[in-house]
Chain A
Amino acid sequence: MAPEDELRLRVGVDVVGVERLERLVRDDEERQRTLFTQVELDYCRGKRRQYEHLAARFAAKEAVLKAFGTGISQRMRWTDVEVVNERSGRPRIRLAGEVAAFAERRGLQDLDVSLTHTEGLALAHAVTVWSGGDRCAST
């Protein structure tokens, strides 16, 4: 198989302290809008433990960017990685802006994420599939 036809798997994981995330964004609409899209805020604000859900979404953003090999960099915005939920409740990632452009340049083929949270911690695990062989293996 030619290198350009190879698929590569990259994973990213992140854990976020719920209290810490809450301390950073509680009662601060501007900060919340810096980190989360309206869809994410609407979803979480409807939950009894909204900060657990927000922390899980923040963890998902970081996990995705770790799987990309970048972390937050290159003018990427947190809202460029959005967690949306299917009717079943299963989370799905929607990309926009610089992150979407990066994904297209690097040959992202598929992306999946799983979230979990307790009273204290939120964790996200992202799995990405890339085409283009070594181009995405060097990060």
Chain B
Amino acid sequence: MADVDSAVKEAVVEALALDDDEVTPESTLMDDLGAESIDLLDILFRIEKSTGVKIEASDLGDYIQGGIPDDEFSDENEVITAKGAEHLSKVMPQTNASDLEGTLKAEEVMSLFTVQNLGEMVKSRDGAGG
């Protein structure tokens, strides 16, 4: 699946007009690389073209939340629950569930999503028949 990692990195580099060495697997798309929504769209469209795996922006949220109902993923103040944090630490292994639980707001989750996380998502979709 090395090709997927390369395709994802290339998509990020080209969509954001960055130098190759500015994008690492650990770079967060929004916070580190400054991607806005249209950039995210551009990245996803480029990945679709190069890998054949179609991902919509809303799929990112579904992937990150993993099918956990809203009221179990975050509490009434939109703060991530223990169950939500546990799942996030699986799809974003660079995070620690105990650090996220009770502190991370649901709308901040995407800010932690890295180039590598996107690559793993593409691979999971590719493996599922994309």
Q: Quick one: given A31-B45, A76-B61, are A62 and B36 in contact (CB under 8 Å)?
A: yes
A48 at the interface (CB under 8 A from B): no
CA distance A127 to B45 in the complex (A): 30
- Distance A77 CA – B77 CA, assembled complex (angstroms): 22
Q: Which residues of A contact B107 (CB under 8 A)?
A: 68-71, 73-74, 139
Asked if B23 is an interface residue, CB under 8 A from chain A, the answer is: no
**Count the A-B residue pairs with Cβ separation under 8 angstroms: how many?**
59
In the complex the two chains form, is A65's CB within 8 Å of B37's CB? Answer: yes
- The residue of chain B having its C-beta at the shortest distance from the C-beta of A21 within the complex is B38
Interface size on B, residues (CB 8 A): 23
Interchain CB contact under 8 A, A34 and B56: yes
Find out whether the CB atom of B57 lies under 8 angstroms from the CB atom of A138.
no
Name B's A-contacting residues (CB within 8 A): 30, 36-38, 40-42, 45, 56-58, 60-62, 65, 70, 77-78, 105-107, 109-110
17 A-B contacts, Cβ less than 8 Å apart?
A: A61-B37, A62-B37, A69-B107, A71-B30, A71-B36, A72-B110, A73-B60, A73-B61, A73-B106, A73-B110, A76-B58, A76-B61, A77-B56, A77-B58, A78-B57, A105-B78, A139-B105
